[in-house]
Structure 1
Amino acid sequence: MPDEAYQAARAVFEERELVDLTIAISLMNAYNRMAISFRATPAAAAG
């Protein structure tokens, strides 16, 4: 992440919020990668 982007996020979020946001983004990325690997069809598309 560029320093400018981090500083912009730091101006808006506190340290704990940045940690929570990072964890949430990481989990979404992991779940999406697993869904792609297992060729899971999203429920909204299956209906």
Structure 2
Amino acid sequence: MVAETERDGETWYECDSCGMLFDDRDDAKTHEANCDEEDPTYIQ
């Protein structure tokens, strides 16, 4: 499930599995469907 959060006056969508933030809900849902539930190996 993707959580909606607000930071710096903007709405972000957070992967519940690894915590990665996205500015687009569809991108977050796509990521979460393929998430390995570990910390991202790349810079957000």
**TM-score normalized with structure 2 length:** 0.34
Q: Comparing both chains, which one has the higher relative contact order based on Cα–Cα distances under 8 Å and sequence gaps of 6 or more?
A: 2
**TM-score normalized with structure 1 length:** 0.33
Bigger Cα Rg: 1
Choose between structure 1 and 2: higher helix proportion. 1
Choose between structure 1 and 2: higher strand proportion. 2
